[in-house]
């Protein structure tokens, strides 16, 4: 208790608070000078020059608070009373060594309690960002051994040949990973290149080699180490928008440098651009703690390689505009102002005693629902039940009837954003997203191999171009009705009948089957099949305790005793040649921080 009470009186606290506040204007000044130099001297230069300029600006942002800390050495009340609004240094201004004393004499002293609050918030933020960075770094390191295996010898030999062409002498291993979504380089002293399962067989060899060259370029340039140091700087100086702005330029120019190195070896910019387009079409995100081919803006990178016109980059419009933008961003950060939320024009929420089939139905002009709060959260935030954690028991047992009207004929995504606002206002719902390690199912090939039927005509229907953008898949029909008509091509439909359940669809890609299996099983499913071809699905099974989202037939019923359908685990092996293995892995979840029963209408 004494430590907390004495915290504002500690000499280092006032010194640290003043240092943090001085860096607000120092960071803006450095960013403005950087933007000016980038605009007039480095915009048309080689990416290496722009990369070096951005790195220099970030180093100056690291040096500025360190120098300020030294200059604000203990020596009187002026070191604690340094002003937040210290003047910018310009021609004719005092030297930087004079700023602390002048600020103390010309500006109103900052209260020690305020400085202590600034330091406390900063320490909390640094801890959070470092924990985030550490968890991401540990997860990235684990990928080297978890769900990874050595690539085929011929591809390792190809990688070694590419190393020689890139003048890279360090040994580099090539691993195939079921968890990586995009090619990535991991490690500095013992680097490895991870490629997703199926990438080596799913892309033309010349495109795979182009992506591998990009990752080898990262290793040659020691980008993994630079990226790690850069991430630490972002964590320590997290509160200043200018740091993130300059750091974003570093990441973008880093990818441009590696693109140029890869093309210098292959001499084929078109093939390399096609490889990047394949990565972009998958809409995958690179690992934060790794350096990957999906880094930066893939669209801008492809346009640059093809010699097309590029938009003016941030910072090219002059130092005054850049400084104004950064100051506005800092003000928005301090006051945490958010843009207006989408909301329903009118909404009614009533308790419901209905025990039948739950539904959340968007329709032109509004939304109707009879559902538990868990199902409402699922639809509002586009998650599965197992991705919602930290909830009280009543969000599953109690149901609510909702009739909501929207202004105008808005689309489905906007309606669900309005549902988020409704839950926040009427249920006082407060959530945050994070990644947690949870039980998962790994989808693998059965011992006897795949039995995935090739697509045939008539198994699905392609909607006309003017068809309304209805939800294509994942909707379950009420029990006893089963699927009506043919499902849309590429989407699976789940139907319940008296004798069991059916998952059916045509021209299905493996991610769609993984998504629906996760919904039915009530647990995340990770694709480790490496299967990349489309296929038809007609999976018939009897719901049981393993299918958390589907009710099993009552004990003693005709369906339970006489059903010709096996369990879903058996059906997957016998009908599709697939198997689910229990495992653990990272799962994106929504954590409920606060929720209350709804207020009266």
Q: Is the pLDDT of residue 33 over 80?
A: yes
Q: How crowded is residue 145: how many other Cβ atoms within 10 Å of its Cβ?
A: 9
Give the confidence band of 281 by pLDDT, cuts at 50, 70, 90. Answer: low
Of the chain, the percentage scoring pLDDT greater than 90 comes to 22
Q: For the segment 573-591, what is each residue's pLDDT rounded down to a tens digit?
A: 999 999 999 998 888 899 9
Q: Are the C-beta atoms of 96 and 70 separated by less than 8 Å?
A: no
d(CA 86, CA 249): 28
Spatial neighbors of 76 by CB under 8 A, at least 6 apart, are none
Mean pLDDT along residues 47-73: 87
Angle of helix 11-37 versus helix 47-71 axis, rounded to 10:
150
What rounded mean pLDDT belongs to the chain?
Answer: 75
User: How confident is the model at residue 203, as a pLDDT?
Assistant: 67
Report which of residues 19 and 309 the model is more confident about. Answer: 19
Strands 192-196 and 291-292: unpaired
**pTM as predicted:** 0.45
Q: Are the C-beta atoms of 590 and 377 separated by less than 8 Å?
A: yes
Among 51-60, 231-240, 407-416, the range scoring the smallest mean pLDDT is 407-416
> DSSP letter string over 383-394?
--GGGEES--TH
Q: Is the pLDDT of residue 534 over 90?
A: yes
Q: For the segment 118-128, what is each residue's pLDDT rounded down to a tens digit?
A: 888 888 888 99
- DSSP 8-state code for residue 577: S
Give the confidence band of 348 by pLDDT, cuts at 50, 70, 90. Answer: very high
**Structure token digits, residue 535:** 């296929």
User: How confident is the model at residue 186, as a pLDDT?
Assistant: 80
User: How confident is the model at residue 209, as a pLDDT?
Assistant: 76
CB < 8 Å & 24+ apart, contacts of 6-13? 7/116, 7/120, 8/112, 8/113, 8/115, 8/116, 9/112, 11/74, 11/80, 13/112, 13/115, 13/116, 13/119
User: How confident is the model at residue 317, as a pLDDT?
Assistant: 41
User: How confident is the model at residue 290, as a pLDDT?
Assistant: 52
User: How confident is the model at residue 372, as a pLDDT?
Assistant: 92
Q: For the segment 145-189, what is each residue's pLDDT rounded down to a tens digit?
A: 676 777 778 878 888 888 888 878 788 888 877 766 677 788 777
Q: Is the pLDDT of residue 558 over 50?
A: yes
Q: Is the pLDDT of residue 543 over 80?
A: yes
Q: For the segment 75-110, what is each residue's pLDDT rounded down to a tens digit?
A: 433 322 323 233 333 333 333 333 333 333 333 345
Q: For the segment 187-242, what is each residue's pLDDT rounded down to a tens digit?
A: 777 888 877 766 656 667 777 777 788 888 888 888 888 888 898 999 999 888 88
Give the confidence band of 313 by pLDDT, cuts at 50, 70, 90. Answer: very low
User: How confident is the model at residue 401, as a pLDDT?
Assistant: 93
Q: What angle do CA 534, 379, 546 make, to 5 degrees?
A: 60
> DSSP letter string over 473-500?
S-PBPPTTT---SPPBTT--EEEEETTE
Q: For the segment 268-279, what is each residue's pLDDT rounded down to a tens digit?
A: 777 777 766 666
Q: For the segment 475-514, what is each residue's pLDDT rounded down to a tens digit?
A: 444 444 444 567 788 888 888 776 788 899 999 999 999 9
**Structure token digits, residue 181:** 């979504």
Q: Are the C-beta atoms of 292 and 140 separated by less than 8 Å?
A: no
Give one word for 90, left, alpha or beta, with left for phi > 0 and alpha for psi -120 to 50. Answer: beta
User: How confident is the model at residue 527, as a pLDDT?
Assistant: 93
Q: Domain boundaries in the chain?
A: 346-436, 450-576
User: How confident is the model at residue 595, as a pLDDT?
Assistant: 93
b (16+ CB within 10 A) / e for 309-326: eeeebbbeeebeebbebb
Mean pLDDT along residues 30-37: 86
């Amino acid at each position: 208790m004494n430590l907390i009470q004495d915290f504002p009186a500690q000499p280092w606290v006032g010194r640290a608070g003043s240092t943090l506040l001085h860096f607000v204007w120092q960071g803006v000044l450095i960013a403005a000078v950087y933007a000016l130099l980038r605009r007039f001297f480095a915009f048309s230069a080689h990416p290496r020059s722009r990369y070096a300029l951005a790195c220099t600006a970030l180093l100056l942002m690291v040096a500025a608070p360190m120098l300020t800390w030294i200059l604000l050495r203990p020596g009187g009340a002026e070191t604690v009373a340094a002003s937040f609004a210290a003047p910018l240094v310009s021609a004719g201004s005092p030297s930087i060594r004079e700023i602390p004393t002048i600020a103390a004499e010309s500006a109103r002293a900052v209260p020690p309690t305020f400085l202590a609050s600034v330091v406390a918030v900063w320490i909390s933020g640094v801890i959070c960002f470092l924990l985030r960075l550490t968890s991401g770094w540990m997860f990235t390191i684990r990928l080297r051994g978890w769900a990874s295996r050595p690539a085929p010898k011929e591809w390792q030999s190809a990688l070694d040949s590419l190393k020689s062409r890139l003048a890279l002498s360090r040994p580099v291993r090539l691993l195939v990973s079921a968890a990586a979504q995009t090619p990535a380089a991991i490690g500095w002293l013992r680097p490895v290149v991870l490629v997703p399962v199926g990438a080596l067989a799913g892309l033309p060899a010349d495109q795979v080699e182009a992506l591998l060259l990009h990752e080898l370029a990262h290793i040659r340039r020691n980008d993994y180490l630079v990226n790690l140091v850069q991430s630490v700087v972002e964590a320590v100086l997290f509160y200043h928008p200018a740091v993130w702005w300059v750091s974003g330029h570093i990441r973008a120019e880093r990818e441009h440098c590696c693109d140029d190195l890869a093309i210098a070896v292959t001499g084929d910019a078109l093939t390399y651009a096609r490889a990047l387009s394949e990565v972009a079409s998958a809409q995958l995100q690179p690992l934060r703690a790794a350096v990957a081919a999906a880094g930066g803006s893939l669209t801008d990178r492809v346009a640059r390689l093809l010699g097309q016109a590029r938009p003016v980059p941030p910072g090219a419009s002059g130092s005054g505009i850049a400084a104004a933008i950064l100051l506005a961003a800092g003000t928005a950060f301090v006051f945490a102002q958010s843009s207006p939320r989408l909301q329903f024009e009118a909404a009614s929420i009533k308790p419901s005693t209905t025990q039948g089939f739950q539904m959340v139905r968007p329709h032109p002009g509004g939304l109707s629902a009879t559902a538990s709060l868990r199902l409402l959260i699922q639809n509002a935030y586009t998650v599965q039940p197992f991705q919602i954690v930290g909830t009280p028991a009543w969000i599953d047992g109690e149901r609510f009837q909702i009739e909501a009207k929207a202004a105008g004929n808005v689309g489905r995504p906007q309606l669900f954003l309005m549902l988020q606002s409704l839950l926040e206002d009427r249920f006082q719902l407060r959530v945050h997203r994070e990644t947690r390690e949870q039980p998962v199912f790994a989808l693998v090939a059965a011992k006897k191999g795949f039995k995935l039927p090739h697509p045939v005509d008539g198994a699905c229907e392609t909607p006309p171009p003017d068809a309304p953008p209805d939800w294509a898949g994942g909707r379950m029909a009420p029990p006893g009705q089963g699927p009506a008509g043919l499902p849309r091509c590429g989407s699976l439909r789940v139907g319940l009948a008296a004798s069991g359940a059916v998952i059916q669809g045509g021209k299905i890609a493996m991610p769609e089957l993984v998504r629906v299996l996760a919904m039915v099983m009530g647990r995340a499913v990770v694709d480790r099949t490496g299967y990349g071809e489309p296929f038809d699905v007609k999976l018939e099974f009897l719901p049981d305790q393993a299918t958390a989202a589907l009710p099993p037939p009552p004990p003693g019923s005709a369906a339970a005793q006489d059903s010709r359908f096996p369990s879903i685990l058996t059906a997957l092996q016998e009908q599709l040649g697939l198997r689910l293995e229990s495992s653990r892995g990272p799962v994106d979840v929504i954590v409920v921080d606060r929720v209350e029963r709804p207020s009266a209408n």
